[in-house]
Structure 1
């Protein structure tokens, strides 16, 4: 990152868990942050809490399951003169149904959030990053979606995270070379999704996300990382 320029990051699902901690860490690293969330009351409350520490945090209502919501958010930011330089696709769901117990609505919902949400935001924000000559995209994936050493599981979660990994490779190839696009496995993190018994703190879970979001121009693209190290897909 340039020492002279302040970049702006947009974090989906930023009102809690890894998303909220990523907003905190990015603000601490000197970025302006757009905390995006579907629920306006919870999003504004989370943004206000972070602002209390002196961070420059802006809340934006964003439902990643709606193309209109994504486009409206992009339009509001453009009208306000806010360029998104860093996109963190954090919002996700974790259905645990076994494959033969999985209904179509649950599967469709997982696809819409875990895959199509990132598809929509990448289409909305990445082209302008290339035109400006700088961009970073971080997709929150999971080792449970890797194909190399396990069957993706639980079914809907693993399948959609495997697809998100594929999307990461496609976007990294399609984007300008100045845009770094990577996926991250944050580990099993103590959040509402991960549960109180998870071994990884939210601070540790967000660390590699923040690292990828602030990569230097010499940094990697099209990779899958855990604990700041590349791992197999």
Structure 2
């Protein structure tokens, strides 16, 4: 039985992963963006190991989430599932894309640094990370014109590089990036072609399995098969440059 924290577990892939792990009798700590969203976990909360609340678009609330998790206890695994494609009810703007960066990249980075180090870390990336090549001097989109697809792709490139940097620099931790596919969630849309059930199986497997394949760190996965990520994600020089930029942006040092 493992102790597992899952960000963004009120719906979609995060909720599906939480349900599967609870059914397997693991101790799962749930996460909701707000108290209002936490109410949607009423059916899972009695069987969970707790619920933490905080908006990962806010640095202060991300710190509070880390504090809440640490107060519950040391996790065996953390699944960094929470993510957004655009900011709801807001036209695409550099400010909106900075929020995408905050949720998809800065929050996983900060939580990795601030939560007591678990044995396993799983980060949700996307196949779209391959279109994310971009200048690290403008990761928060303060200088560029808006481009929703590019901003999302960049954020997912960064989180894939984060996962692989952790694997390289923390050899005692199993760290992986996962492409869950384009699945029919609130973000993916009802017409998404991939299977929702298949979309969460890789991360739950990586969080708990004794399978030798799941116990070799530094993988980029799609439906329980290792794939080759974008070259930048695997490049130690890019990883180091990105980690320095994220430390500068957040004021939190990971390595």
Question: Smaller-chain TM-score range?
Answer: 0.7 to 0.9
Q: In the TM superposition, what is the alpha-carbon distance from 1:117 to its structure 2 partner?
A: 1.1
Distance in 2 of aligned mates of 1:8 and 1:104 = 38
Counterpart contact for 1:143–1:185, Cα < 8 Å: yes
Name the structure 2 match of 1:122: 112
In the alignment, structure 1 residue 104 sits paired with structure 2 residue 99: no
Distance in 2 of aligned mates of 1:69 and 1:107 = 19
Q: 1:225 aligns with which of 204, 221, 229?
A: 221
Partner secondary structure for residue 43 of structure 2:
helix
Name the structure 1 match of 2:22: 27
Name the structure 2 match of 1:157: 152
Q: 1:38 aligns with which of 33, 36, 60?
A: 33
Counterpart contact for 2:9–2:32, Cα < 8 Å: yes
In the alignment, structure 1 residue 143 sits paired with structure 2 residue 127: yes
Name the structure 2 match of 1:14: 9
Counterpart contact for 1:37–1:60, Cα < 8 Å: yes
- In the superposition, relative to structure 1, how do residues 45 and 107 fare at CA in structure 2: closer, same or farther (>3 Å)? closer
4+ residue runs over 4 A deviation: 150-153
Counterpart contact for 1:172–1:181, Cα < 8 Å: yes
**Residues 188-231 of structure 1 deviation map (CA, whole Å, 9 limit, x = unaligned):** 10111111111223221111111111133841211110010011
Q: Number of aligned pairs? A: 211
Q: 2:56 aligns with which of 64, 67, 76?
A: 64
Name the structure 1 match of 2:189: 195
Counterpart contact for 1:89–1:140, Cα < 8 Å: yes
State TM-score, norm by structure 1: 0.81
Distance in 2 of aligned mates of 1:45 and 1:106 = 26
Distance in 2 of aligned mates of 1:84 and 1:167 = 19
Distance in 2 of aligned mates of 1:51 and 1:95 = 28
State TM-score, norm by structure 2: 0.75
- In the superposition, relative to structure 1, how do residues 163 and 76 fare at CA in structure 2: closer, same or farther (>3 Å)? closer
Could you tell me which runs of 5 or more consecutive residues in structure 2 were left unpaired when the two chains were aligned: 135-147, 230-255
Name the structure 2 match of 1:85: 76
Q: In the TM superposition, what is the alpha-carbon distance from 1:162 to its structure 2 partner?
A: 0.9
Distance in 2 of aligned mates of 1:142 and 1:77 = 26
Partner secondary structure for residue 195 of structure 1:
coil
Q: In the TM superposition, what is the alpha-carbon distance from 1:151 to its structure 2 partner?
A: 7.0
**Residues 19-53 of structure 1 deviation map (CA, whole Å, 9 limit, x = unaligned):** 1001111112221111111121222331x21246x
